[in-house]
Chain A
Amino acid sequence: MTETEDQILRLKGKRASGGLVVGPAHLLGDIIVRDQAPAGTSDDEVAKLRSAIAAASEALETLAATSGDMGGEILGFQIALLEDDALIEPAIIEIEAGTSAVKGWRDALDEQIADYAASDDDYFRARAEDLTDLRDRVLAILTGADFGDGSMPDGAVVVGRELTPSRFLTVDWHRAGGLALAGGSPSSHVAMLARARGLAMAVGLGDGISALHAGEPVVLDADAGQVVSGLGRDALEQMHRDVAARARQAEEAKRLLPLPATTPSGQRVITTVNVDDPGVLSEIPVAHCDGIGLTRTEFLFHDRANLPGEDEQAAVYRRLLDWADGRPVTIRTLDAGGDKPIPGLTLDGEGNPFLGLRGLRLSLARTDVFEVQLRALARASAHGNLKIMFPMVTAPWELDRARELTEAALAAVAKDGAPVGKPAIGMMVEVPAAAIEIDRFDADFFSIGSNDLIQYVTASSRDSAEVSNLYDPLNPAVLRLITRIADHGLKTGREVNVCGDMAAEAATLTALLDCGVRSVSMGYAALAQAKATIADYVTEP
């Protein structure tokens, strides 16, 4: 031990996508361009701008081709903007009047960015980001600055304040080790993109991040949501060994992906994936899982001006069922509220939103919105093995009411002449009142939302660093409840699944197996490790 504790900088934030990485810090700065006098005639400057725009278009086309559904759409919009003379004309006029290509372009784009940023519509405001990315991408080409990863060392921990999705897509993440952001949120688009790639990412690390130097070795422990720098040589070498051991383990675990998950004693464990955004499905081989255990339909409601309609929802649900190819697909109805507000739907200014109008409570209060979702689910139900699940069920009558509404939607769609299936109706178990009296709930299946269950049982907020030592998945009260629910499922022939973070970590997954749980659902990135944990599981004596 040669270092002293005060050389060590520890930045605490939140996990956005798990992983442990050691690598040189690569600072992703803002593109700052000083005004410059025009280098040539105005014709030269116009030509310079046009060729920079062409180069930017070409780079975007290449990125779009390899970015999957979600990424391709973001980039497709930017490409269309760049191809539009209306975007470029104001810059050309200014340049012809004697300014440089750099200043002309920046002024023209800044004006448009300000226009979008001032919009009273969330969706249009968000487009300011796309224009900012375009501005900076072209400026970087004009000035030779580094927009993406030009100078990034291999295995780098990319460090920045915030990152827009399109800027995220410019980085070659196969070369990078991970991403650490001062701001950001685990529910952002960028976090989703990182999880889909299995890229380690921590957010909310705070202003302390500016103390990191380019090239200095840092440890990104995304599982714990933290970044550590200033470690001595011995400690760093140990970290490198840990990371290498983990990588070997992960590589080995991948061999299990195409196989059904089975314990050494031959017990089959159902392993399904969680879906935040259907865009990730293109990257998941369906044969690696037993279907979809949780679809968070909130993604349909985010970043938009209006609520999604029946046609749009039905098409998305249909797409999930088509992808699953006969395997079960569990779709959870809207779980808004709590930490997931939706403008125009959830209540503003609730004193304690986690105990307020959220999940099924909100759906039953807003049956106009709920019925649209149920009709869309009914329309999709004929096209595969659909299971419908309600979040935050507290009292049996809520489940009964939701079942009635679902049956009414199925009957109405059938009456319109469309084919319907017979979807199973289940509930999330996350409220202690439901967990304790589980036999009073007439659901076809149960799914334990461990994140919320832990927070409600331990009365410890899941996003508070101060009480994180009490927010304990292995608290005996939590495990006892899970055991009771698993027993009830076994006795009554109902499936009991766990779809929270407990299923995604080796230690807590082992505890779930001890509780008798034989069905788990998680993000695809955690699936290989989970199958390895199950394959090594030895039953408690």
Chain B
Amino acid sequence: MSVQPTEQEAIERSVLLTHEVGLHARPSVKLTKLAKRYTAVIAIKPDGREDWTDAKSIVKVMALKAKQGVTLHFKAEGSDAESALDAMVGLVERNFDDDGD
């Protein structure tokens, strides 16, 4: 499975991970579920990593073990790439909606 969007067309956004527990089980479930709603290929990369990771795979996202305070980069390619990135960044900014009821 290729998760490498071609450089020319892919768009990128970055966001600071402020959630206290980082990308643990519950945030990872939310992030990958949201990513799967888009047809775009979406990849994620915490600061300090070389490779991009498939943002639709809970196993791979959990394996990043990203902690609070790290910057997350998102890259998407596809017809709904723009809205996919808005959604991913929004979810991280809203602390994965953990604060609301």
Q: What is the bound-complex CA distance between A322 and B26, given in angstroms?
A: 23
Q: What is the bound-complex CA distance between A95 and B81, given in angstroms?
A: 36
Interface residue A395 (Cβ < 8 Å from any Cβ of B): no
Chain A residues near B26 (CB-CB < 8 A):
73, 76-77
| Contact in complex: B58, A305 (CB < 8 Å) | no
| Contact in complex: B100, A315 (CB < 8 Å) | yes
Which of B20, B57, B58, B60 lies in contact with A309, CB distance below 8 A?
A: B20
Per the 8 Å Cβ criterion, residues 35-79 of A in contact with B are 73, 76-77
Q: What is the bound-complex CA distance between A408 and B66, given in angstroms?
A: 35
Q: What is the bound-complex CA distance between A85 and B24, given in angstroms?
A: 19
Which of A81, A123, A315 lies in contact with B59, CB distance below 8 A?
A: A81
| Contact in complex: A77, B101 (CB < 8 Å) | no
Chain A residues near B58 (CB-CB < 8 A):
80-81, 83-84, 86-87
Interface residue A307 (Cβ < 8 Å from any Cβ of B): yes
Interface residue A173 (Cβ < 8 Å from any Cβ of B): no
| Contact in complex: B68, A306 (CB < 8 Å) | yes
Q: How large is the interface on B (under 10, 10 to 19, 20 to 34, 35 or more residues)?
A: 20 to 34
| Contact in complex: B59, A87 (CB < 8 Å) | yes
B69 — nearest CB in chain A belongs to which residue?
A306
| Contact in complex: B65, A124 (CB < 8 Å) | yes
Chain A residues near B28 (CB-CB < 8 A):
80
The distance from the CB of B68 to the nearest CB of chain A, in whole angstroms, is 6
Chain A residues near B20 (CB-CB < 8 A):
304, 306-309, 312
Chain B residues near A112 (CB-CB < 8 A):
59
| Contact in complex: B101, A121 (CB < 8 Å) | no
The contact string, 1 if C-beta is below 8 Å from chain A, for chain B 59-101, is 1101101011000000000000000000000000001001111
Which of A86, A304, A306, A315 lies in contact with B99, CB distance below 8 A?
A: A315
Interface residue A494 (Cβ < 8 Å from any Cβ of B): no
| Contact in complex: A319, B101 (CB < 8 Å) | yes
Sort A-B residue pairs by CB-CB distance and give the 8 closest, nearest first: A86-B59, A86-B57, A77-B25, A315-B99, A80-B29, A309-B20, A80-B58, A311-B99
Interface residues of A (CB under 8 A from B): 73, 76-77, 80-81, 83-87, 112, 115, 119, 121, 123-124, 127, 130, 304-309, 311-312, 314-315, 318-319, 322
Interface residues of B (CB under 8 A from A): 1, 20-22, 24-26, 28-29, 32-33, 54, 57-60, 62-63, 65, 67-68, 95, 98-101
